[in-house]
Amino acid sequence: MTTTWTFDASDGVYKNHKLSVGIMRHAALNFVFVPFTKKVDGFGKQQGESVTLPYWKPLDVPSTPVLTEDNRIPIDKLEMGTRQITVQEWGRGVQYSNLMKELSVLNPKDGAQAQLREQMEACMDNGAAAAFKEAKVLFTPTSLTGGTVDTDGAFSTSALYNLTKAHMGVIRDYMANDLHVPPFNGRDYVGIFTTKALRGLKDDGALEDWWKYLRKGEVIYYSEIGRVEGIRSVECTNENALSNSVGSGSVLGEGVVFGDQAVARVEAHTPELRADPNFQGDFGRIKAVSWYGIIKFAIYWDTANDRESRVVFVGSN
């Protein structure tokens, strides 16, 4: 294997060191966002570069629907809105030599595939996380029981406290009463938070153990650690997705709370691994493996409007 050859004398005699059959592995990151995205149905190959998501705008609710005998029934206008999402090409590759393959007891192709698959999963999860963070509604804890709500997609103040049960109650009530966000599952919303943010909830004694609220037949989410104020909480340890240190003195860990139809996953070509046995020619001496896909993650509703906004981003400027 090319990287294991060393000189054992000044005259340049090569010596090959024995490789262990077993391979040491880096600890895997915690990827949690992609399963909470929703694939857009009816879109795929040979259907253009964009998909348009139509929706009916809600009708105004009259102060009274009572009719009088001499008046006609009032007529409201039915209007449609749209949201357009454009897919992008994603991919990355790694090359290795045929000499490495011939001399090594370990197949570099297998190693390349394993590493690329983990890289692909990380890129997918980071992309999904970035889409959740496109939310226009933001919450910043500025006291032990409350905080600042921004509705323009930009944080206006610095966090002064870590997350508490009271903050979760504020977020939940705002989503339910002001935004009228439909729950993600049953009666509950879902929150994905960093370890530091969840530590605030644990220290506050706020988290309800998942085995106490899940009923027979219900599924526990990957990395779910408990529920508080009707928000099922999932831990994220990937700091490329959510920062574990924001706010004054890095007091806060980021998080997102969301309901149904929060982030769309548009796939023209589902990401997959590909192999090129004759990369850059030269009679097959250089080989390559890559992953490739045509995909896009995007928030469904890029507004802070009532009955449209579905995500609250917890963070700080």
Per-residue pLDDT, averaged over 26-32, amounts to 74
Tell me the average pLDDT across 156-173: 97
Overall average pLDDT of the 244-264 stretch: 97
Q: HEC string of the chain?
A: CHHHEEECCCCCCEEECCCCCCCCCCCCCCCCCHHHCEECCCCCCCCCCEEEEEEECCCCCCCCCCCCCCCCCCCCCCCEEEEEEECEEEEEEEEEEHHHHHHCCCCHHHHHHHHHHHHHHHHHHHHHHHHHCCCCEEEEECCCCCEEEECCCCCCCCCCCCCCHHHHHHHHHHHHHHCCCCCCECCEEEEEEEHHHHHHHHHCCCCECHHHHCCCCCCCCCCEEEEECCEEEEEECCCCCCCCCECHHHCECCEEEECCCCEEEEEEEEEEEEEECCCCCCCCCEEEEEEEEEEEEEECCCCCCCCCCCEEEECCC
pLDDT of amino acid 233: 97
Give residue 14's pLDDT band: very low, low, confident or very high (50, 70, 90): very low
Between 45 and 174, residue with greater pLDDT: 174
What average pLDDT is seen over the chain?
88
pLDDT computed for residue 21 by the predictor: 61
Digit-coded pLDDT (tens) for 207-225:
999 999 998 888 999 999 9
pLDDT category of residue 105 using cuts at 50, 70 and 90: low
Tell me what pLDDT residue 44 has.
Answer: 65
| Residue 91's pLDDT band (cuts 50, 70, 90) | very high
Global pTM value: 0.84
